[in-house]
Amino acid sequence: MRVQRVGAKLRRYFHYYPGTVAVIGVLDPEKESRANFMPAVWNAGLSFAPPLFGVAVSPKRHSYRLLAERRPFSVSFFSFEHAELVAALGGTSGREIDKVKAFGLEVGWGEALEVPLLPGAFAAYELEFWNQVPTGDHDLFVGRVRAVWEDEAAFDEEGVPTPDRVPALLYYGRFLYGHPAPETRRIKKP
């Protein structure tokens, strides 16, 4: 083991990876498709009641500008087979292109809110803007879950997306993608 003291910036900051990827979808009125999507590995469930979910987005992203207008947004969760699509959405900016058109995607729209959704996800949330919290060089955009989409086949009887049902996409950092190993063990409280 080695140790290093840390100043303003860490060159490598992947110790807590892999992380589940949430693909953020938000209305972009200036696009022909009216939608923009970007993956965010910095995402977290934040509250059960009300159900709150957050994504940390850098002001450098085109999505930041759209989210900062307090628009509703979606987050979608994909399986490993969609890694290339996620990498493409994360490797391009809505500032330069209409990703939906460029990648030939079909956009669906939310049930509860005017949020764009991509087909093929095993789960998605429709989120109403709740709060924008500055956190260093990213802002945490917190949304309140107003609708949940789920592929029933991906979840067990407790509502857990087990790896035998769905190989959820994991991001390890530095362009490396994977999925959870098939072994799981349910360990109940004593």
Whether the ω angle into residue 72 lies within 30 degrees of 0, i.e. cis, is no
Q: In whole angstroms, what is the distance from residue 115 CA to residue 27 CA?
A: 6
Q: Does 20 bind ligand FMN (CB under 6 A)?
A: no
Write the CA distances from 159 to 59, 123, 151, 156, 165, integer angstroms. Answer: 34, 11, 11, 5, 11
Q: Is 132 in the site for ligand FMN (CB under 6 A)?
A: no
Is residue 94 involved in binding ligand FMN (CB under 6 A)?
yes
C-alpha to C-alpha distance for 108 and 131, rounded to whole angstroms: 25
> Which residue number has the CB closest to ligand FMN?
90
Binding mask 34-73 for ligand FMN (x = CB under 6 A): --x-xxxxx-------------xxx--xxx----------
Q: What single DSSP character describes residue 81?
A: G
Closer residue to ligand FMN, CB minimum distance, 72 or 90:
90
82 is a contact residue toward ligand FMN (CB under 6 A): no
In 91-176, alpha helices (H): 99-102
Contact pick of 87, 107, 112, 147 for ligand FMN (by CB under 6 A): 87
Residues that bind ligand FMN (CB under 6 A): 21, 36, 38-42, 56-58, 61-63, 86-87, 90, 92-95, 138, 171
